[in-house]
Every structure is written in C-alpha cells, then in structure tokens.
Amino acid sequence: MQTAALNPYDSLTAMFTRLREDIATIRERDPAARSAWEVLTCYPGLHALMFHRFAHACWRAKRRWLARFVSQFGRFMTGIEIHPGATVGRRVFIDHGMGVVIGETAEIGDDCTIYQGVTLGGTSLTRGAKRHPTLERGVIVGAGAKVLGGFTIGADAKIGSNAVVVKPVPAGGTAVGNPARVIAPATATAALSPAADAKAADAKAAPARAAFCAYGITPNADDPVSLAIHGLIDHAATQSQRIDEIVAALERLGASLEALQGADGALVDLRRLSAAMDGKVEEAAR
C-alpha cells in the first residue's frame, strides 16, 4: 500500500484554506463582524479553533500531554475549553465563547454554531466510553445551554439558550427548558411518519441550507406565506445541490458540460431571496 508523503506546503495551504473559510463563516453569521481583519484579531471563537486544531493533531499523534497543554493554553487565552480529543467539523462558529466547555468524546458536525456558556458534557465516568454528545450538521446551541450525555442532536436542530438537554433531539427539532423538551411541531411528526423521516434525512444530508438563522430564531415563524416560501427555497436549494452533484459525477465520467456551467449566472441566488423574505435588506442587496 502506498502512503502519501506529508508535504508541508500542502499542510500550510490546507491550514490557510480552513482559516479563510472560518473567517468567511463568521462574517456571514455575525452581523457585528465588519472586516476579515477584525474577525482574525478579535474573535476568540476563531482563535480557540486554531488552538484546537493544533492540540487535536498532537492528540492524534499520541502526544497527549502536549495536546492537553495546548488546549489549556487556548482556554487561558480565549475562555473556551475544547478537549483535544473532541472532533470539530468545518465552518463551526463559536460566538463570544467565554465559558464554553467541549468534552473529550464530543463530535461537532460542519456548520454548527455555539454561543457563550455552552457545555457539551458527560454524565458518566466510564473511561473510553462515548460520554459527550454528537452535534450533527448545522445545529445551533443557544447561550448557556448544557447538552449532557453521549447522544445525538440531529441535523439543523436548535437548542434554546439555557436549555439542559439530556436526551437526543431529532433533526430539525427545537429543544428548550430544563429538562429540555422539543417544541417545534414539525419534529413531533418527524418521529412518526416515513415522509417526515425522509425529510429529516434530507436535512441531515443537505449542506446548503438556504439561510442561517442568527441566534436560531425562526423569522416570521407564524406567517404561513413566509413558511411556504421558505419551504420552496429549501426545496430549490436541495434540488440545486443534487444537480451540482450530478454535474460533478458526469464530469468525472468525462462529459463536457460547459453550456450548463455557463448558465450558473442565470440561477436565482437563494440565500439573497431568503434574506429578502426575512426583511434583511442589506444582506439581500449584497
């Protein structure tokens, strides 16, 4: 078996790509972020992830003391404690961050958002067991929430601020209170009907949510027209993602699809459309 040689240039390029992606994510999700420079210098959530990547690499290389030391130094600098064994996906945003604690066996999927004071903690002392939660893609955890135990929070779920979550939350669900209960009506049906299950699975697979809802708030949640249009936007986003996947697969098979690529400019920008629906005039105009 051939092993790829570790090329320092590739590692550096990957590091800068991730950093650029993280900065873009923060600018997109925090209306207070004014420039890339401000994000790079003033966002402890970004710094904590940089420390964590280094600590996690040491952990995987079995340099356990060094990993813990880097992690604790990161905590001293940022107020955010991420155990070096924790797995953190891409485009994760830890906003404000002070007091966040993420345990050793926690797994955080891509595109998750975590606010200050969140604990992804454990309730068992069994060494080597999965003691901390898994957040699937796109989960938002509100300020001060505690998610305790080795269960899964489904894709795109929202955890209300100060909630204490001790059981799994289904994909797309909203959990609030202590102990947390699931309040979003769509979630109640998700556990019952196969169609809703399929929808939840779709949500799990869909990387391209039409728009990020800052603070987990559902804009115009009680306006049926807005909800219907948001449903259509989400559907169009899923279709467009599938078409992209089909095009990529055809290209891998050698098909030339220049005409299709040329049509990209004619597509509706779903993110802007969604922002316009929510009355976010500046975002819609960008």
21/109 Cα distance (integer angstroms): 15
* Nearest CB to ligand COA, comparing residues 44 and 84: 44
226 binds ligand COA (CB under 6 A): no
* Nearest CB to ligand COA, comparing residues 31 and 207: 31
Please give the full DSSP string across 221-252, using - where no structure is assigned.
Answer: TT-HHHHHHHHHHHHHHHHHHHHHHHHHHHHH
Give the nearest distance from C-beta 229 to ligand COA in angstroms.
17
Residue 231 has a CB neighbour count (10 Å cut-off) of 10
Residues 67-106 that bind ligand COA (CB under 6 A): 96
240 binds ligand COA (CB under 6 A): no
- Which amino acid appears at position 119 of this protein? T
142 binds ligand COA (CB under 6 A): yes
* Nearest CB to ligand COA, comparing residues 85 and 173: 173
Give the nearest distance from C-beta 160 to ligand COA in angstroms.
3
Report the Cα 29 to chain-centroid distance in Å.
Answer: 11
Pairing of strands 134-135, 81-82: unpaired
Paired residues of 82 in beta bridges = 102
Residue 83 has a CB neighbour count (10 Å cut-off) of 20
Segment interacting with ligand COA, rule: CB under 6 A, options 8-16, 215-223, 235-243, 257-265? 215-223
Give the nearest distance from C-beta 214 to ligand COA in angstroms.
8
Place of tokens 């078409």: 243
The residues binding ligand COA (CB under 6 A) are 96, 115, 142-143, 158, 160-162, 174, 176-177, 183, 215-218, 221
